[in-house]
Amino acid sequence: MARLGNTDLDVFRLCLGGNVFGWTIDEERSFAVLDAYVQGGGNFIDTADIYGGRGPDGPGASERVIGRWIAARAHREQLVIATKVGMSREERGLSAATIKRALEGSLERLGIDRIDLYYAHQDDPDTPLEETLGAFHRLIDEGRIRYAAASNYSAERLTEALEIGKREGMASYVALQPHYNLLEREEYEGELRPVCERYGLACVPYFGLARGFLTGKYRPGGEEVSSPRAAGVRESYFNDRGFAVLAALDEVAAAHDTTVAAVALAWLIAQPTVLAPIASATSREQLSELLPATRLELTAAELARLSEVSAGC
């Protein structure tokens, strides 16, 4: 476990992504993955009010699945539950009224009375930051959320929000959820990481496995992967750099007798400010390939090798 920024939340070093629940896997399979995650020592679950929107039960399906699982398993006090507001068609943006309504919906779907980590899912330039932070602050005071966090913010807007929170005594973001992995480094390492370092924010990166590419299941000339993300993965990562990173991951994984996915996640965990990368799994078997990342210690040479090849060096 590790402490999340300047909070009292202790979390597992791998955050379980709930985006697949109610979308690409049904409730029974979702329960199996959640059970295996907790049995493996996990306690940090990430979802959003829009997750499940492309599945048969529509937006909020992920939260409902997680809520029914919590009710059935009685794990609530052991868990750190994160969800998000701001991208739903029904509750879009970060006005005070939207945040309040969206939170009530998330609490009802999850069947709990408090969210541990409540993210602004994306920046809302049409709403003053003071209004957004004030709304989060009131919810903290009311005991309905423990902490507020940010996702998909620019470094400039994140800094502005943090300064306003500090100056005005409003909610202060404690974590950032950016797009960051071995193949997506420039934005976070260039501008966002310095902000996290300066303000003590925990980085909880999404797409830690590059939408599945860094699991090694996508290979040139390999079997066709059946996934809603497959076309985008091929378009983004089927290139010399992507295949060079896979080759380096293969070498390191073989040296440690572990999985390619575990090595990719272990590299992330070893990066400055990163607390717990987010990764999702559609089965117990997939999850078993991810969990070793929390115990895997890569050598300085291995970390340097992966950093160099992923930078195109």
Provide the annotated active-site residues.
51
- Amino acid identity at 5: G
Residue 77 burial (10 A CB sphere; 0-12, 13-18, 19+): exposed
Nearest to 232 by CA among 242, 245, 222: 242
d(CA 238, CA 232) in angstroms, rounded, equals 10
| CB-based contact 251:222 (threshold 8 Å) | no
Displacement of CA 171 from its chain's centroid (Å):
21
Dihedral sign, CA of 179, 182, 187, 192?
positive
Report the candidate in 126, 106, 108, 127 with the shortest Cα–Cα distance to residue 117. Answer: 106
Inter-CA distances, 299 with 143, 256, 263, Å? 43, 11, 11
CA–CA dist 48, 204 (Å, integer)? 14
Q: Which residue in 78, 5, 77, 79 sits closest to 45, CA to CA?
A: 79
The answer for residues whose C-beta is within 8 angstroms of residue 279's C-beta and 6 or more apart is 14, 15, 16, 17, 208, 209, 261, 265, 290
CB 118 within 8 A of CB 136: yes
